[in-house]
Amino acid sequence: MATNGYSNGGSTKGKPIKCKAAVAWGPGEPLVMEEVGVAPPARMEVRVRILFTSICHTDLSFLRGENERQRRFPRILGHEAAGVVESVGEGVEDLAPGDHVVPIFNGECGTCAYCHSSATNLCGTYRVDAFKSTMVSDNGTRFSVVNTSGDTVPVYHFLNTSTFAEYTVLDAACAVKINPAAPLEKMCLLSCGISTGVGAAWNTANVSKGSTVAIFGLGAVGLAVGEGARIRGASRIIGVDINPEKFAKGKEMGITDFINPKACGKPVHEVIKELTDGGVDYSFECSGNVDVLREAFVSTHDGWGLTVVLGIHPTPRMMPLHPMELFDGRRITGCTFGDFKGKSQLPLLVDQCMKGEVKINFDGFITHEMPFSEINEAFRLLEEGKSLRCVLRL
């Protein structure tokens, strides 16, 4: 547990805090529980006591060091979480100590041209940046740790969030205040997986009632797409994955048909076209594989089919499409954070879930719950395909 905290009546305001964090010292290495220093928040920043955090495949990809340009260590990973504001920096007016918050990797300042536009959920300053490892205000870090040589060294940030720590410092634009009655152990999934998948179905594709959908990759994001399509009333939701063990969970999320590419004997898009009389209305690529992206694109119906790209693609290979293929009416687009504007739209979604107006199956995504100290075991379960989301209690 942290040596200081919000629970002691706010005595930590303006002071450094020492707490436990799971530090990544290098690519492919297990995380190490370290005592780290967490500086007070600077201007337009907040310091948050993390109560729950979960693990996403993006964390796993960064820990593996799959993209050399993104390697910077030591680092605190993690970007799905929920917690309580401990203190706020100068200039922060929309957050206060004690507020329940969900960190978001795709921030929203609310004042720039991007935030004022209804055409995008990106922010001019605080949008997601996989190469960023420091804070916006001064290009510095708020974490420090003593290395094996006895030197105090900076620990770098990750995806605007760094939630694998008992305390973290966020840009205020990356902290969403939510209903204090909402269960934080479930709301942490809105930091990435559920918002990304459900939002892709609702906001990016605008899936319509009675439509047909194909989802390539049935991890947490893919299943969240299925959940979003189910809520929207899609008539047929086809799940594609090489792991048949995911099909049972898929049924729970409303997926109606399943295709294992290794078992169908023909290209997946041909199977889908046979099932849907020419192709699906919407396809979602959630695997990060360009060959799968190709199958997702050609599985949609000519004239109106839409493919939404959600997978993170570490490969330098380009998109496997010929420009002339777009003249048959199929379209393709990317999606960041489900096209939700985090600070202005997520609080309403939380309230709708609390009132029962929107019924998202949060519990279905949480396959494991563990103490923070077992974070490396949680990574192992995810890597072996045995976990959708493991929620860690700090």
Name the token pair of 196: 């990304």
Closest CA to 35 of 78, 59, 3, 13: 3
Question: Could you give the 3-state DSSP secondary structure of residue 13?
Answer: coil
The single residue of 47, 75, 142, 389 carrying the catalytic annotation is: 389
Peptide bond into 180 cis (omega under 30): no
The single residue of 47, 49, 75, 80 carrying the catalytic annotation is: 80
**Residue 258 CB coordination number (10 Å):** 18
Closest CA to 322 of 313, 330, 314: 330
DSSP 328: G
The single residue of 45, 100, 109, 285 carrying the catalytic annotation is: 109
Please report where in the chains the tokens 């960041």 appear, as a residue: 336
> For this structure, is 112 an active site residue?
yes
The single residue of 58, 196, 204, 276 carrying the catalytic annotation is: 58
Radius of gyration in angstroms for the set of CA atoms belonging to the chain, rounded to a whole number = 21
What are 257's strand-pairing partners? 238
The single residue of 19, 115, 335, 390 carrying the catalytic annotation is: 115
The single residue of 66, 72, 112, 252 carrying the catalytic annotation is: 112
236-240 and 212-216 beta bridge pairing: parallel
> For this structure, is 57 an active site residue?
yes
> For this structure, is 109 an active site residue?
yes
Q: Say how far apart CA 45 and CA 41 lie, in whole Å.
A: 5
Q: Say how far apart CA 239 and CA 86 lie, in whole Å.
A: 42
The single residue of 19, 56, 174, 188 carrying the catalytic annotation is: 56
Q: Are 209 and 232 in contact (CB under 8 A)?
A: yes
> For this structure, is 115 an active site residue?
yes
> For this structure, is 192 an active site residue?
yes
Please report where in the chains the tokens 């605007």 appear, as a residue: 160
DSSP 196: H
> For this structure, is 80 an active site residue?
yes
Please report where in the chains the tokens 């020419």 appear, as a residue: 278
The single residue of 47, 57, 232, 330 carrying the catalytic annotation is: 57
> For this structure, is 79 an active site residue?
yes
The single residue of 79, 236, 301, 330 carrying the catalytic annotation is: 79
Can you spell out the DSSP letters for 333-385?
EE-SGGG--HHHHHHHHHHHHHHTSS---HHHHEEEEEEGGGHHHHHHHHHTT
Q: Are 10 and 153 in contact (CB under 8 A)?
A: no
> For this structure, is 56 an active site residue?
yes
The single residue of 174, 192, 335, 390 carrying the catalytic annotation is: 192
> For this structure, is 389 an active site residue?
yes
Give the residue numbers annotated as catalytic, written as ranges.
Answer: 56-58, 79-80, 109, 112, 115, 123, 127, 192, 389
